[in-house]
Chains A and B, each alone.
Chain A
Amino acid sequence: DAGITQSPRHKVTETGTPVTLRCHQTENHRYMYWYRQDPGHGLRLIHYSYGVKDTDKGEVSDGYSVSRSKTEDFLLTLESATSSQTSVYFCAISGQLYGYTFGSGTRLTVV
């Protein structure tokens, strides 16, 4: 989507390895979010950020950490990937709390 890029788009990793997903925006939006999407669960918030170095936990934050050292980048790290973290991960940005713009997603498979 315009203004927001996620990388990589697909990743296969082994159980126990660290994984970092990147979200990059060019909109200078204040708010950034990481969600995971699983069948039957809709979108569940992992972590979010309301400014550089300002982050907070969402409803499914266990096993995940985030960092935001620049306005444009929001990184999601799985410290030690588990099979339960196999999912599609979406980043979203928002300038005014309302009206999120989502990236195209990262499909992560943990084997």
Chain B
Amino acid sequence: GENVEQHPSTLSVQEGDSAVIKCTYSDSASNYFPWYKQELGKGPQLIIDIRSNVGEKKDQRIAVTLNKTAKHFSLHITETQPEDSAVYFCAAMDSNYQLIWGAGTKLIIKP
């Protein structure tokens, strides 16, 4: 079955710098890859997603890239701000249309 690995588990960046979180997946049939942001005490919230027929997608300061050959996808956050501090989860949809989740990355924005 599908397996998703996420790195790093913790990422600390200076405010204003960029942050990159990477995920790899095992099932080449997976075709949908969302990213969720979870703030303390809240449920995860979808921030961006990408389908397998697209290599990159951007939404303001957030972008996701997908390399199907290498089976990895990444979240890029530019010009980081204090409100970007949260836990970020990647996921891949398997052949049963279930999301398989990475273990999460705690992003810390240093002032």
Interface residue SS majority, chain A:
loop
Q: Which residue in chain B gives the minimum CB-CB distance to A31?
A: B97
Contacts of A100 in B (CB 8 A): 34, 36, 44, 46, 99
Contacting pair B102 A42 (CB below 8 A): yes
Q: CB within 8 Å of B: which of A57-73? A: 58
Nearest Cβ in chain B — how far from A40, in angstroms?
6
Cα–Cα distance between A42 and B91 once the two chains are bound (Å): 10
State which of B32, B41, B102, B104 has its C-beta within 8 Å of the C-beta of A98: B32
Chain A interface, number of residues (Cβ within 8 angstroms): 20
> Inter-chain contact count A-B, CB under 8 Å?
49
Contacting pair A99 B103 (CB below 8 A): no
Q: CB within 8 Å of A: which of B45-101? A: 45-46, 49, 89, 93, 97-99, 101
Contacts of A99 in B (CB 8 A): 34, 46, 49
Nearest Cβ in chain A — how far from B32, in angstroms?
6
Nearest Cβ in chain A — how far from B101, in angstroms?
4
State which of B41, B45, B103 has its C-beta within 8 Å of the C-beta of A41: B103
Contact with A along B14-46 (1 / 0, CB 8 A): 000000000000000000101010000111111
Q: Does A48 contact B (CB under 8 A)?
A: yes
Most buried by A among B36, B41, B99: B99
Interface residues of B (CB under 8 A from A): 6, 32, 34, 36, 41-46, 49, 89, 93, 97-99, 101-104
